[in-house]
Amino acid sequence: MADEVLDRLTEWAIERAGIHAVILTSTRAIPGAALDAYSDYDVVLVVDDVVSMAQNQDWLADFGDLLISYWDPVNVNPETGAVWVGSVNNYVNGLKIDFGLWSPQRFVDVTTRPQPHPEFDAGHRVLIDKIGLTGGLPAPTYAAYIPERPDEPTFQRLIVDFLIGVPYVAKSLLRNELLPAKWVLDCDMRSNYLVPMLEWRVECDHDWSLKTGSLGKGLKKYLPADTWAELENTMTGPAPEDNWDALFTMVALFARLAQEVATRLGYRYPSDLVDRVTEHARQMRQGDYAAGPRSPGQSGQT
């Protein structure tokens, strides 16, 4: 399947005068990468007329029966005149090709910067180069997109950003407002803060050398089974009590991971803050907390 698609792509590009270079990137350009039938193709096309190809998308049918296609807005650099756009294209037979259309100036812009362009540094393979555009392209180090070791302010900020969602979820559950509760719990707290903490914990054991993949898709194989089970227990349906349980499970998991990362990196772990926010949510669940001013000495405990 891989050879057939790349052969078709190469032959197609050779026959089109407006295409200068074709560069395969991402997983399929990494030697020895684990591939399956669902692995997509990430392709940069360096072309004469980005706008025309983005507006007239009939050429996408050259690769099969198109199911659905998404296109970003066309970008233009006003200083250099570089033009580029990205797209995601799913075909009926399961093929997925993410095409990036770049003007030659866009290629020059991103490859003459001091730091290597991450898309190319993560892995690339030049399939076609009709004008010698890619001659100076450095060989990939395959190090791009590996999570970076956070400095201590970044570590502390992630903890605060995670915890700020806890009272919001609690308030939403008390109001029986399922949609905001689920968005903050499942989208914000888990995806934006818990997953990065999971990645940091994994990287601590692998000397900051692993690519765990976007959205944490590669985390499962690196996490202990009990940690993965805890993560699964943060996911639930619409029942309010189940979401309360999921909230406290998530907080406990995040706290344990953060404490372990802090120990490994030599950072301060804000236990008082974590405990205070957790206890506050428990009081809200039990009905022991009500918003508004309190009388002096009023604890809110019943």
The verdict on 119 and 166 lying in the same domain is no
Q: Do the domain assignments include residue 145?
A: no
- CA angle (264 as vertex; 220, 197 as ends), nearest 5: 40
Q: What is the mean pLDDT of the chain?
A: 92
The verdict on 260 and 177 lying in the same domain is yes
Integer CA distances (angstroms), 290 to 181, 276, 298, 301, in order = 18, 16, 12, 11
The verdict on 195 and 120 lying in the same domain is no
The verdict on 167 and 232 lying in the same domain is yes
Residue 212 phi, psi dihedral angles, 5° rounding? -90, -10
The verdict on 72 and 186 lying in the same domain is no
The verdict on 270 and 172 lying in the same domain is yes
Question: Which tokens sit at 16?
Answer: 């089109």
pLDDT tens, position by position, 105-120: 999 999 998 888 999 9
**Where residue 116 sits, what CATH number does that domain have?**
3.30.460.10
Residue 102 phi, psi dihedral angles, 5° rounding? -125, 140
The verdict on 208 and 239 lying in the same domain is yes
The verdict on 125 and 163 lying in the same domain is no
Q: Do the domain assignments include residue 69?
A: yes
pLDDT band at 297 (very low <50, low <70, confident <90, very high): very low
Calculate Rg over the CA atoms of the chain: 24
Asked if pLDDT for residue 16 goes beyond 90, the answer is yes
Question: What is the number of domains present in the chain?
Answer: 2
Q: Do the domain assignments include residue 34?
A: yes
Question: In this structure, which long-range contacts are made by residues 209-216, counting pairs with CB atoms below 8 Å and at least 24 apart in sequence?
Answer: 209/146, 210/146, 210/147, 211/122, 211/145, 211/146, 212/147, 215/191, 216/191
Q: How far apart are CA 98 and CA 53, in angstroms?
A: 14
Q: Do the domain assignments include residue 59?
A: yes
Q: What is the maximum span of the chain, computed from C-alpha positions, in angstroms?
A: 81
pLDDT tens, position by position, 152-194: 999 999 999 999 999 999 999 999 999 999 999 999 999 999 9
Q: Do the domain assignments include residue 139?
A: no
Q: Do the domain assignments include residue 276?
A: yes
pLDDT tens, position by position, 220-262: 999 999 999 999 999 999 999 999 999 999 999 999 999 999 9
Asked if pLDDT for residue 298 goes beyond 70, the answer is no
CA proximity to 256, closest of 191, 171, 162: 162
pLDDT at 295: 44
The verdict on 52 and 157 lying in the same domain is no
The parent domain of residue 20 ranges over: 2-129
Q: Write down the residue that tokens 């993410």 correspond to.
A: 98
How confident is the model over 207-227, as a mean pLDDT? 90
Q: Do the domain assignments include residue 299?
A: no
**Where residue 241 sits, what CATH number does that domain have?**
1.20.120.330
pLDDT at 292: 53
The verdict on 75 and 108 lying in the same domain is yes
